[in-house]
Homo-oligomer: A and B are copies of this chain.
Amino acid sequence: MSLLVVGSIAFDSIRTPFGEVEEILGGSATFFSITASWFTSVRVVAVVGEDFEEEHFRVFRDRPIDTLGIEKVPGRTFRWKGEYLGDMSQAHTLDTQLNVFESFVPKIPASYLETEFLFLGNIGPALQLRVRQTLPKLRASALDTMNYWIKGMPEDLAKVLATVEILLINESEARMLSGRDNLKKAAASIRKLGPRFVVIKRGEHGATLFGQNSVFTAPAFPLDQVQDPTGAGDTFAGGFMGHIARTGDLSDSNLRRAVVYGSVMGSFAVEDFGLGRLLRLTPDEIEARFREIKNLTHFDA
């Protein structure tokens, strides 16, 4: 079924202990859509500048991704420069140039209005709300956010949270949003703000899904080498929402599988810089790693 993402498209410059790249394609909408395109067709709403060339559009169009909603405007595309040190658990931002992203107002093409599944990438909550309200046929929307909006725009964030079914959030942000250190209580308190499901992302420690009467934990897939963690969260979201949109099934047991697909896709993302590994995948590799996570967590009760 139809899946739409609204988020950023950026050129990322990244340094990790394993190498360095300059101005490669990144951003939340990019990682999400490329990932979800392994599960279903995807529509993208984002903004780019005049420096965004045909070759960049082609990265999306070579996959089942509709780029009609990628608006090209005067100016330069969003740029981010960051560095990861040691165990690479944290990005250190070296430079951010918002450029055309600074005045981004998502525009939904008429052909997207029937969309059934939505991922609201990490943009201002007022913009997220406007997108959510533009789409009358949604069966489920998921939202990502960050400390900047939690601290700076709590009222706008509360409004959009009240309208979404799923919140994807990392551990420290879940604590900040809820004011609770205990994650189980944090999730319970966030569920009262609107989302029926809260997925707390824990990076190399996996992810936990909190529902009405159910908790599910999936590990991260243990890798020999993490090259570049950039985009892992949006890639997780792409696998998660990609599986949900592909199946159209919002049951607890299917959301558990969706979390595992999120973990699977996140593990591929970090094996190479930028989109490298996500563009080189095969469906068989995805299914094989899904089964490996089954083996990784299986025990006889």
Contact = CB atoms under 8 A, between A and B. Distances in A.
Contacts of A259: 299
Contact of A299 (B86, B204, B256): B256
Interface residues of A, number: 38
The majority secondary structure among interface residues of chain A is mixed
B301 A291 contact: yes
B296 A216 contact: yes
A95 interface: no
Contacts of A129: none
A257 B298 CA distance: 10
Interface stretch (A29-37, A146-154, A175-183): A175-183
A297 B216 contact: yes
Given A86-B181, A181-B86, A205-B202, A299 B260 contact: yes
A223 interface: yes
B300 A257 contact: yes
A208 interface: yes
Interface in A261-301: 290-291, 294, 296-301
A182 B225 contact: yes
A184 interface: yes
Interface in A53-85: none
Q: Which of A182, A223, A260 has its CB near the most chain B CB atoms (within 10 A)?
A: A182
Contact of A208 (B185, B202, B222, B299): B222
Given A206-B217, A217-B296, 16 more contacts: A87-B181, A182-B223, A182-B226, A183-B204, A184-B222, A184-B223, A216-B297, A216-B298, A216-B299, A217-B219, A217-B222, A218-B297, A253-B300, A257-B299, A290-B301, A297-B297
